[in-house]
Amino acid sequence: MVLAVEDLTLEFSGLHALTGVSMSVDAGALAALVGPNGAGKTCLLNCVGGFYAPTSGRIVFGDVPIQGLPPHRIAAHGITRGQWYFLRVLWTEDGLSQRELSARVGMMEPTTVIALRSMEKTGLIRRVRSADDKRVTKVWLTAKAKRMREEMLLIARGINEDACDGVSRAEFDAFRRAIARMTANLDRIGR
């Protein structure tokens, strides 16, 4: 077994994002994490990737416990995978409310708030209360984040090309159709 997640729990201010999640992946296996929006897929991946520290449980890679280790970052820019999701949306739709941004990215609002706090601390965004409705907070990119767009998209294209090396267009299209069908099935079941 190359990866084991054992009884993982993740809480945000008392809200359980994950409760007692266990799974394993064998060496050489191709694994997928599938579920409807809000099921905790991204939270689980963020725990495994070191972006979130689980409240309890263990994550073991090979024989080494890895929960709590710092995440790898896109070194030259300090952008985490979680921040990347929000930047991609904001580069095309700047000024969304936190709720709209959560919906566009497909994350629960508590997860969005945590990511946005981090992005604000690193100078990527600023959050401003709406003049029309003080309950609404708008998210705006800073000049620093806007300047990163082209270079970061170029890096992402390179990563995508590397990931698709040796995969035919037909195989890639079949994979996308299968994932879209599975997602639609799970969304239908969730209703």
Within-domain flag for 11: yes
Is residue 144 domain-shared with residue 79, that is, in the same domain?
yes
**What confidence tens digit (pLDDT) does each residue in 88-142 have?**
899 999 999 999 999 998 888 888 888 898 899 889 999 999 888 989 999 999 9
Hey, what are 89's tokens? 């949306």
**What confidence tens digit (pLDDT) does each residue in 26-46 have?**
877 778 888 888 888 888 888
CA dist., res. 11 & res. 20, Å (int): 11
Contacts of 4 (CB under 8 A, 6+ apart): 23, 24, 25, 58, 59, 60
Last residue of a domain, one of 43, 65, 87: 65
For residues 9 and 53, the answer to whether their CB atoms sit within 8 Å is no
Is residue 85 domain-shared with residue 41, that is, in the same domain?
no
Is residue 56 domain-shared with residue 77, that is, in the same domain?
no
Is residue 59 domain-shared with residue 91, that is, in the same domain?
no
Is residue 78 domain-shared with residue 114, that is, in the same domain?
yes
**What confidence tens digit (pLDDT) does each residue in 141-156 have?**
999 999 988 888 887 7
Range of the domain at 102: 73-152
Hey, what are 127's tokens? 């959050």
Is residue 88 domain-shared with residue 115, that is, in the same domain?
yes
Within-domain flag for 163: no
**What CATH code is carried by the domain that includes residue 148?**
1.10.10.10
Is the whole model's pTM more than 0.85, yes or no?
no
Within-domain flag for 46: yes
Is residue 81 domain-shared with residue 53, that is, in the same domain?
no
The number of folded domains in the chain is 2
Within-domain flag for 189: no
